[in-house]
Every structure is written in C-alpha cells, then in structure tokens.
Structure 1
C-alpha cells in the first residue's frame, strides 16, 4: 500500500506526521453532543441549523424524552439528531448507527420515536386555510405571481418509492412505471408551505382519482372553502379546481395556461425541496404504513424549515414529461375556467 505521504517534500515528512498525529490546538467534538459540530456541518448532516434543531428538540421533548438516563439512555437531542440524519441521508440504519456510534436497534427506535412524534403535529403545522384573513393573504400571494385570481392552493401528487410489500393488497402499490410507491397528494401555498397532505394512497391510484376520494375534495365540493385550487393536466377541471387547456387556442386560452403554469409552480418547488432535503424519501425500505408515517413526518419538518426560513436545498424543477394521462371518463366542469378566461385573460 502506497504511503499517503509520498507526495510530500522529504524534509517535511516528520513534521507532517507529528502534526497529523497530535493535531495541535484542535478541539475534539463531544460525542454526547451532536450540536458540537460547526453550523455548516449541522446543515449538511441534519438539514437544519443549530437553532432549528433546538426548536425541534423542544417541540418533541414531551413525546420522546427518557425520564431517566439509566442504561445510558439517549438524550432528546441525540434522539432527534439520529432521526434527522436518517431523514437527510436515507442511508441504511447500520450506516447511520456507525456514524453516530450506536447499534442498529437504537437507531431504529430513535427514528420511530421521532417520526411518530412529528406525525402528531400534522394538524398543527399542516392546515388548509379557512379563516378570512389568512385566506385573503394566500389569495393575494398567488395573484401576485401571474394575475391568477381566487387561488387557495396549488395541488399535485408525488410518488415516493417503497420496497415491494408482501401480503394481500401488495399489488395496489405497483405504479404505472412498474415500481412500488406511495402516491402522496399535497397542496401548498405561494410560499411553499404545505397546507394539505394525504399519504394513504398506493402507487396504482391515478392523481385525479386520489383527489376525488380525498377529504379536501369533499369539503370543496360542499362549498366549505371560498376559492379554487390550481392543478396540472392530470386532473379533471371542476368549478373548484382549475386545470390547463390541453389544446389551447391562441390568445386568452394560451394566456390562461401560461398564468396557470406559473401559479402552480410552488407545488413543483415544494415537492422538489421535500425530496432533496430529505433523501430518505427517494427510497423508503419499510412497510407501506411506516412509509406513510415517515412521509407525513417529513412534510411537518418541511413546514418547520420553511416557516423558520432554514436554508432551502437547490433543486431542478421537474417538467411535465411524466404527467399521468387524464382519465377522460372523469366528471369535467369547465364553466369556472371559462369564466376566469373571459374575466381575466380576454
């Protein structure tokens, strides 16, 4: 094996060996304190700043802290950081354990504690707008993007790959591309805060069918919300979901499509940030029910990060090349779309 010092000047080799061996003046990190890393490394390892991690620890402490330190029980900070490292890296549990100097079973318990605790905050951090001041603020923010009126949120579904499940119903998770996944429905506002999420749909369900079966659809259909959603061409147009013209005429319809594409862009950005910030979502090697809980936990973390203005990951927004074809047999009501075209884009 070649010496790592072969490229060094001969006269400096002894000094280099001594410097590397003793690391004069270097401060060793306290292994009991995951926050002893520099800020840049915290962001790299955990996707949150030091203040952000402390905020999450304070939030989850009543749900995950051990009452005693018997048997060297992990601290709340250690437990949270183990889970954040898994969410951020998506590596195998033993890899995370090696990095944190813990056995695989401890890593698994910590991750499960944290994602179940985060799931309890879904109704706190993911709330569809209902109260007038917040509703108007969201509409104004969307209107400022491209002049598209009355928008409450941008809607889309995203596939999150899982390992092939076994048992009855496993085939439902096989998507149209031949891999197993969850099809997760999300709605966000103009600032990329998620306002609605449903993680229960298997990969085989079409986006438009998932929406029609969702609680949010029922609420909109019953007139519980004053406004519309914007979606892509995979959805059927209704009076409360605006979708593009598939073959627009030049002029108002083309202008409408352009404004709609810009207005719904935040959901593409949101999904991109979610998957890039939490690499575990690119392949969840767990059963579907646990995968659903992990996705839900990551959406809560995404909103915490967005609200606290944590550093957002760089993403490349995906095009609509992989758009699911529209089911032509779904109910279609374009009267609301025609009204918007005539009122705002003619």
Structure 2
C-alpha cells in the first residue's frame, strides 16, 4: 500500500512538471498588450528587449530541452522585482509557468548579472567635468549652490539571518533589514548605491566606509582644499567640506532659511526612496533571501531603476505609495581635521542664500 501511494505521488508530480513545461513553451510574455506588460514588468516591451539584449551575453546558455529560455528567465525576475509577489506565486500565475526552484534560480542569476555586469555601466558617480550640469539643475530648482547629489539610507526588510550574524541586521525598530545607502541627482538618477551593511549599522558609519566618501575626500585634497561641490545629507551624516548637513539647532533667520532650502534640495533622495519602492515592490516586502543575496537583489533593482530612466521611462505615478521618511539622528560631531573648514563653507553658503 505504501509503495502504491509513493508511486501515485510520483506520477502526479511528473504530470505536473510536464504540464508546466507545456505551458511554459507555449508562453510569450511579449504578446501582452502594452499597458498590461508595463504593469506586470515595469518596462515597456521595447525597453525590455534592450535589457534582454544587453544581459543575454552574460547569461547561462543551456543545451537541454528543459532549459528555460533567457527572455523568460529575465521576465520572471522582472515580475518578481516589480510585484513583490512570493516566488511560488510568480511561478504559478499566467506570466511564467515555472517551479518555485526555477523562479528562485532565475531571480538569483538575473540579479547577479545585473550587479556584476551591468552595474558598473549604469550606476556611475559623476566626474568633476560633469559636476556643473548637476549643480546648475539643483540651483535652478532649489536655490542651493554647489550640489552634486543627495545621500540617504533606507531600510529593506530581510528574513531573520543565522544566529551568529543576527545582531548585525536587527535595526532600532526591532526588525531585520539591510541599511541601504543611495545617492541621487535632482532627476532621481542613482549615482551610487551601497547595499552590504545590516540594519544595525548607522547611516554615518556606512558613509564613512563607502568608496564615494573616500573619493570625495581625495578630490578635495587634490584640489588644494579649494572646493565648491558637495553632497547633501541629513543630521545623521557628519559635516564635511564635501557633504553639507543642516544646522542642528537653527536659531537665527539665516540658519532657519538655510535649513529650509537644504531640505528642499535634499528632498530628491526622499522621492527616490519612495519611487523605487513603489515601482519595484519587492523592496516593500520582506526579502526571503540570505543577507548577501538580498544585497544582490537590491543592487539589481537600482540598476533597473537607472536603466528605465536611461531609456526614457518616466516615473510611474500610478504605482506611488507613501513611504515613511525616518531620519537617523547622529550624536554631536566629534572634533575632526575637516570640521572647521566644513563649518566655514556652510556659513558661507548660509550667507549667500539669505
């Protein structure tokens, strides 16, 4: 009797695999109407074709009949990024008849290719020659001079990690997360992303460890400390000549006005955090991956955000969902070799915009 039950279960599962393969082979995601395609994948069909063309040389090429075609793997991953559906749901809806294991493999492969192969092309911090155009846009829109971008961190939920590393990912709101640092320009183009620290890490700690902080310090030193370009950060960041923060206890009219214009100029990073989580809703739900794989998924989504913007896909207001902005307040500034110079720069900006 036991062997008959096992045999029947084997036959049932085998029939399910055959049916899923038949449905998969008959599927063509690109037959959807334009509006439906964009709602499911957050890409136009033309832009999706370009993404597939750019990724295909880096994707695994199989020989077996059961091999999942590269376009279907990429579309499956896009659907997961876009909807935030659990992987079992992604593989059982009308867009992709794939097993849960294959959905997981597709998401991991696509994320890895986006991070390792496309990220260096699509996420680049501007050179000094590119500063002027960015500064002009910020100044025209907000009146704040010298701004080359805004920086902030946002928390992305992940599943509970292994016990030996759990404390590194438990944030101050008592859930497990990655604390992701993003930098953007006024048009919400991502200029830098850092998704490797756990939720227990402070924004300032992540900034101090970032490659862009080291790059800006190096540029400041190489220019003989004659500097007129900076990022904008909130009170969770250290005041430096290359990153301007608000006055902690603004009392004078000039300081209050400075903080008001600073907040207006820095609002772009808050809009970015809200927009990217609204368009790619996997970032709103818990990522049921290891911390390392979750970081890869987050980096992949950042690449897709810039890819969309680079191909003229406007922000999707129909997907906008309010995102709570939570400022990570930092302890009072410790004496630093650059602090006095940064204070002088901030005071000079305060006077110029008063």
- What residue is the counterpart of 1:21 in the other structure? none
Supply the distance in 1 between the matched residues of 2:106 and 2:218 (Cα, whole angstroms). 42
The alignment's C-alpha RMSD in Å is: 1.9
> What's the offset of the Cα at 1:105?
1.5
Q: Which deviates further from its counterpart, 116-125 or 241-250?
A: 241-250
> What's the offset of the Cα at 1:204?
0.5
Aligned length: 314
Task: Show CA shifts across 1:116-141 (max 9, x none).
Answer: 11002111111111141x22111111
Q: Is the CA contact 1:240–1:336 (under 8 Å) kept in the aligned structure 2?
A: no
Are 1:64 and 2:59 an aligned pair? yes
- What residue is the counterpart of 1:337 in the other structure? 346
> What's the offset of the Cα at 1:30?
8.7
Task: Show CA shifts across 1:220-252 (max 9, x none).
Answer: 222358610001122222211111112223422
Are 1:294 and 2:309 an aligned pair? no
> What's the offset of the Cα at 1:169?
2.0
- Greater percentage in helix: 2
- What residue is the counterpart of 1:136 in the other structure? 132
- What residue is the counterpart of 1:49 in the other structure? 44
Supply the distance in 2 between the matched residues of 1:66 and 1:123 (Cα, whole angstroms). 23
Task: Show CA shifts across 1:265-304 (max 9, x none).
Answer: 1111111111111111122111100000000000000001
Residues 60/286 of structure 1: CA separation in 2 closer, same or farther (3 Å cut): same
Match of 1:278 among 277, 280, 284: 280
- What residue is the counterpart of 1:327 in the other structure? 331
Are 1:127 and 2:124 an aligned pair? yes
TM-score, length basis structure 2? 0.84
Task: Show CA shifts across 1:20-69 (max 9, x none).
Answer: xxxxxxxxx9943111100111111101111111111011011125254x
Q: Is the CA contact 2:135–2:146 (under 8 Å) kept in the aligned structure 1?
A: yes
> What's the offset of the Cα at 1:102?
1.4
- What residue is the counterpart of 1:203 in the other structure? 199
Unaligned runs of 5+ in 1: 1-28
Supply the distance in 2 between the matched residues of 1:326 and 1:136 (Cα, whole angstroms). 31
- What residue is the counterpart of 1:22 in the other structure? none
TM-score, length basis structure 1? 0.86
Unaligned runs of 5+ in 2: 1-23
Supply the distance in 1 between the matched residues of 2:106 and 2:307 (Cα, whole angstroms). 20
Task: Show CA shifts across 1:110-169 (max 9, x none).
Answer: 11111011002111111111141x221111111111111111110100101100101422
Q: Is the CA contact 2:82–2:279 (under 8 Å) kept in the aligned structure 1?
A: yes
- What residue is the counterpart of 1:81 in the other structure? 75
- What residue is the counterpart of 1:166 in the other structure? 162
Supply the distance in 1 between the matched residues of 2:253 and 2:168 (Cα, whole angstroms). 42
Task: Show CA shifts across 1:147-205 (max 9, x none).
Answer: 11111110100101100101422211000000000001111011100001111111011
